[in-house]
Structure 1
Amino acid sequence: MRNLQNDNWIISYGMLAITLFFAFYANLWGVPLFDLDEGAFSEATREMLASGNFAATYLDGVPRFDKPIFSYWMQALSVSAFGINEFAFRLPSAIAATLWVLATYLFAKQQWNQTTGIYAALFMATTLWIAGIGRAAIADAWLNLFIALTLFDMWRYRQNPSQSLLLRVYFWMALGMLTKGPVAIAIPLLTSAIFFIWSGQWQVWLKAIFNPLGWLVMVLTISPWLYLVYQDQGIEFFKGFLLDHNLERFSDTREGHGGNYFYYFLVLPLIIMPFSGVLFSAIRHSKTLLKNELNRYLLIWFLVVFALVSYSQTQLPHYVMYGVTGLILVLAANRDKLAIGTWQLWIPFAFLVLLASLPWLVEIAVDNTHRAYEKALLAEYQNVFHWDYYAAAAILLIVALAVIWQKQWSVASRLILIGLAQSIFVFHFVIEAAADLQQQPVKNAAEYALQHPDKNVVSYGIKMPSFSVYRQQITARERAQAGDLVFTRVDQLDKLKQAYPQFENKIVFQQGGIVLIEMQAQ
């Protein structure tokens, strides 16, 4: 893999297939669902299948207004085929991420050449956060796919303004709307407006925006579901989704995430690991890059998203991913100019050293945290980090050093190989350790509850919907009665006693900060 353009194409495509497998599919089934997001999506899907209501989503029996319907439908198809398990819930995201990477490959191949297409696809598949959301049972891989398809076809329309291309743009935006809402329209419209006005083609843009047939395609795609969800949940869905989970999420901090304007400046280098050094080089060459129209279009796409999410008062790492496709394409297409310094290889190596040091970092965290739940959770670290973690970390660092020292290989090719090693380690060892600490106790608690079907189970002071997934029952948030099992956390025990002074709280299960309490009459 010295330089992909010098290799046999069979080897190049083989490398891409291997990378896609380890990025999105390997060990997809190996860890419990993560709360809050994976648990919430999966439980809403499970309840959809259990009720037979495919128009609207519910979470623990309560209407869920967070997201539209598309990703739930995809999960429902997968679960119907493979059963209720982690693989089935995550498979749709892996498929969406694979299509996202392949669509990027085809676009880069069409706009530049086949070699750039391969590099762009490999850059995408080995980028840390892209692999992460491509393995998670959430909506973001689908949304990124539809945003990318929209903006790819917008550029193609600019090159060849045909009606069929324009209608395809509206169709992709409609599917994005069905996946996550107005963001799927806002990002393409802002990006295209800035680019077309900058290029002096605002009339072309206005003609495309006010195309009645395009809006008809969008309405016909979206309206059947809108009618069905209105029939089920009435106007409350639109209030909850549009006002609470879109406008207020943008203007107010939600769930403790946000709102620092410099947040994404700090997290972006981590998000696009191992290509952080190439990013720094791109910033240095930004004036030159912007002289090329396609580079400019792709960078406007990224900067629009970066500005929007930085201004938003609810900030999460995956929000900036909606524009990273454009950035990665620029990095891959200009790799001969940007990926040229050996120093760029030592940045991901330092990150790998950090991952290898994770057991010691967790030990330090245990000694320094005073929060009861976090302390109980992290205290299990000695039962999580085994000899195989240390052995794999040592092999990872040796492989990374061997790749760095292969001076005859291009920097871009070496970064891809380091990214592949990073993916294998993160999604086989780091993620398993994290899941064992945070999620395995939840799954074990659910299995305990399953063994006591005669007990009613309620939750108190905790929001981990994967518990309901593994129980395959709704876990209501209602007042406990004598004989009930209460699913809660160790930091909620005092509050629970104060709320139910008439009961004796008998701990029947406790692990890593997760507790099941049997409410016994005194």
Structure 2
Amino acid sequence: MPHRSDRLAAEPGLIVSRAATRIDGMPARIPMLVVLAFALLWFGTLGLRHLLGPDEGRYAEIAREMLGSGDWITIRYDGLKYFEKPPFHMWMTALSYALFGIGDWQARLCVALAGAAGLGLSMLAAARWFGTRAGVTAGLVLASAPMWNVAAHFNTLDMTLSGAMACVLASLLLAQHPAATPAARRRWMLACWAAMGVAVLTKGLVGVALPGLVLVLYTAVTRDLALWRRLHAAAGIALMLLVALPWYWLVARRNPEFLHFFFIHEHWQRYTSTVHARTGAPWYFVPLLVGGFLPWLGLLPGMVRAVMQRAGVAHAAGPNPPFQPALMAALWALAIFVFFSLSGSKLPGYIVPMFPALGILGGVALAHTGNHAWTRQVRAMLVLGAIGLLASPVVATLDANNTPNALYRHYAIWAALACALVIASAAAALWLLRRHGRMASVTGYAFGMLLAFSVALLGHEAIGRSASGIDLAAPISRVLRPDMPLYGVGMLDHTLPFYLRHPLTMVAQADELAFGAAQEPQKWLPTVEAFVDAWQHGPRAVALLSPQAYAALSARVPMHVIARDWRRVAVSNFAFAGERQARQPVSDSPATL
């Protein structure tokens, strides 16, 4: 007699029909309200912060320039060729602008949707293999994992890639279920290959290299060579190439320099060397993994047991070994973690693609966790929240990354509030466990964790607002005209050009635009002397400088201060109305910062 969860997993129609009235013993309206609450928190907070540099401002501005120019093939940043990444993320952001206008939440819509898509498909795969309860708990674990939900609210390529990779893993799992019909297996495998094409179109060869690595490792461990015959490789590879290849062919045809820069410099040299100066120890990702999965660390023993006990595996009737979904998820997470730990280039977002696999395993472990073990998990988080609350005043003492201490003092309040919400969520989970059972407790706990980490992220606006330069945008816009140059003197400002709707012309330091500047040297000023000459004898212009550069250059050439903050000074080479007010120095008080 098959286990009830296995029978439900093999009969999705039965799940749907029963879910229409009750889900896990609860009226259907309650899960629907829970989903609505999660969705409102997930999408409703996208526009409550201003963009941060470098990544958020960079990709927002690239998409804005793409939409404005109508050139969706040759990617440009501040008017210069920018071939570090493929265009899928920027395409989706430009489409968001076209549909909803240009703004902060529109710039983040792509990552929020990618995170939600990866979450939803991971839940479906977990439910198919491990039962409905595991599918629901997998969604709760992943949605409330800080690394996943924070990444889904930052305009970077990491979450767009991770959403596509989550679809790769989930589609593969769904295709390999023993109850899948040949037609269903083919459809899910084609979806898997299409998602790999999107991943390749988002961040390059890593989109196919990582799934390939996991597949090789899985085969080596299980000796299940029959799996390769179920991949529909011929049709799948053709579909993947159909998704990804046209842009690569078109951009290489228009820009012969693309192939060497993208595949040699941005792939081989990035991974094997420190050319990008993003170094880190082999254990660089360990604290990020711990912090990124913090609310659910107590599930790790259960996750290991799920793999060792081959959770979800059905007894095989044929000669081929049965597919092991828990092992596949574990190898997926492990391979990604080790792959990037060995890389010469490390950034926090690189390991985000491993979290859907952790979410699935966490969901399986949580579905089989008893009340006693769950109580220990919640109490541990209660203690961690209390420690965080007691330690939050330390944030108010920081003065790092050239950020004024006054901003950290503001953020310390938000950090304390986030820790208080962690405590409240854990306490509420204990109360719900006694009154309404474990599923209600887990749901309340997960929502509370998502709320707490969302508050911590939203509170960063205390620092991020001034860093974005949004307060300078209005006074500069009153002076800057579309036909005027906007110089970035020795600095690449990643956010203010987006808010000004005006690209920079780089001066003296090309920064990450060095490749584009080398390809089109007429579009930048390579020396300060060239800038001084253009400033004195060229057309009306506006420039952004650091306070130090302004102090040095204002002694050489006339500069009319438009606005300033602790990071930058905006000046013009002509007098304008209201100049006297703009010359007033900015106070260091928290109210003005």
SS at match of 1:334: helix
Is the 2:121–2:167 contact (alpha carbons within 8 Å) kept by the matching residues of 1? yes
Q: Which amino acid aligns with 1:84?
A: I
The answer to whether 1:227 aligns with 2:265 is no
Q: Which amino acid aligns with 1:19?
A: F
The answer to whether 1:279 aligns with 2:310 is no
SS at match of 1:503: coil
Farther-moved stretch of structure 1 (87-96 vs 391-400): 391-400
SS at match of 2:353: helix
The answer to whether 1:296 aligns with 2:327 is yes
State the match for 1:167 in structure 2: 190
State the match for 1:467 in structure 2: 496
The answer to whether 1:61 aligns with 2:79 is yes
Structure 1 gap ranges (5+): none
C-alpha displacement at 1:283, in angstroms? Answer: 5.1
C-alpha displacement at 1:510, in angstroms? Answer: 2.9
* Distance in 2 (alpha carbons) for counterparts of 1:423 and 1:154: 28
Is the 2:418–2:453 contact (alpha carbons within 8 Å) kept by the matching residues of 1? no
TM-score by length of 2: 0.76
C-alpha displacement at 1:9, in angstroms? Answer: 3.4
Farther-moved stretch of structure 1 (326-335 vs 479-488): 479-488
State the match for 2:344 in structure 1: 313
Q: Which residues in structure 2 correspond to 1:432-511 (within 5 Å)?
A: 432-441=458-467, 442-453=469-480, 456-478=485-507, 479=525, 480=531, 481-482=535-536, 484-490=541-547, 493=548, 502-503=556-557, 508-511=562-565
State the match for 2:3 in structure 1: none
C-alpha displacement at 1:200, in angstroms? Answer: 2.0
State the match for 1:329 in structure 2: 360
C-alpha displacement at 1:194, in angstroms? Answer: 1.6
C-alpha displacement at 1:467, in angstroms? Answer: 1.0
SS at match of 2:271: helix
Identical residues among aligned pairs (%): 19
Q: Which amino acid aligns with 2:451?
A: I
TM-score by length of 1: 0.86
Counterpart pick for 1:184 among 175, 185, 207: 207
State the match for 1:29 in structure 2: 47
* Distance in 1 (alpha carbons) for counterparts of 2:260 and 2:388: 43
Q: Which amino acid aligns with 1:400?
A: A
* Distance in 1 (alpha carbons) for counterparts of 2:285 and 2:101: 38
* Distance in 1 (alpha carbons) for counterparts of 2:198 and 2:326: 26
The answer to whether 1:363 aligns with 2:396 is yes
CA 397–155 in structure 1, closer or farther in 2 if over 3 Å, else same: closer
Is the 1:16–1:122 contact (alpha carbons within 8 Å) kept by the matching residues of 2? no
SS at match of 1:170: helix
SS at match of 2:569: strand
Is the 1:497–1:505 contact (alpha carbons within 8 Å) kept by the matching residues of 2? no
* Distance in 1 (alpha carbons) for counterparts of 2:476 and 2:493: 15
C-alpha displacement at 1:449, in angstroms? Answer: 1.5
* Distance in 1 (alpha carbons) for counterparts of 2:376 and 2:289: 18
* Distance in 1 (alpha carbons) for counterparts of 2:227 and 2:428: 52
Q: Which residues in structure 2 correspond to 1:96-135 (within 5 Å)?
A: 96-135=114-153
State the match for 2:407 in structure 1: 380
Farther-moved stretch of structure 1 (507-516 vs 70-79): 507-516
State the match for 2:160 in structure 1: 142
Q: CA offsets, 1:421-478, max 9 Å, x none?
A: 2332332x43333223134341122333112125642113433321111000101112
Q: Max radius of gyration: which structure?
A: 2
State the match for 2:281 in structure 1: 260
Is the 1:46–1:76 contact (alpha carbons within 8 Å) kept by the matching residues of 2? yes
Count of aligned residue pairs for this structure pair: 505
Is the 1:359–1:381 contact (alpha carbons within 8 Å) kept by the matching residues of 2? no
Q: Which amino acid aligns with 1:20?
A: A
Q: CA offsets, 1:315-348, max 9 Å, x none?
A: 2222112122112111111225557253422444
* Distance in 1 (alpha carbons) for counterparts of 2:410 and 2:148: 30
Is the 1:459–1:487 contact (alpha carbons within 8 Å) kept by the matching residues of 2? yes
Cα RMSD for the two superposed structures: 3.2
Farther-moved stretch of structure 1 (315-324 vs 76-85): 315-324
* Distance in 2 (alpha carbons) for counterparts of 1:363 and 1:304: 38
Higher relative contact order (CA 8 A, sep 6+): 1
